[in-house]
Amino acid sequence: MEQAKHGGDHSSRAAQLQARENEQKALSRWLKGATFEQVAAAGFGIATANGAWRAVHRALARIPKEDADQAREAQLARLQALRLLLWNHAGAGPH
């Protein structure tokens, strides 16, 4: 009961801080172009691509909306550039 008077379990807080740090690492890797599979394989506590997706979205929710929107726009631009590259390559045909 003494623990509850003083704000709860500190190991829980440490775990929460570590989880947020891992989410920030996941966001950073994603912003650099890593896939969710690559984020999960990076070895900082996220086991699956789905878990990496959730971690990135939690991290985006914690930053200012303008920054999150810029991050999403940068990813969209990267994906559109890749799509255009693939489209042009597919249309070129064999030489």
The per-residue b/e assignment along 32-53, b for 16 or more CB within 10 angstroms, e otherwise, is eebebeebbeeeebbeeeebbb
Q: What is the pLDDT of residues 12-24, one digit of tens each?
A: 999 899 999 999 9
Low-confidence ranges of the chain (pLDDT < 70): 1-10, 92-95
| Euclidean distance between CA atoms 16 and 19, whole angstroms | 5
At 76 the pLDDT is 92
At 10 the pLDDT is 55
- The whole model's pTM is what? 0.72
Nearest alpha-carbon partner for 44 in 16, 63, 17, 18? 18
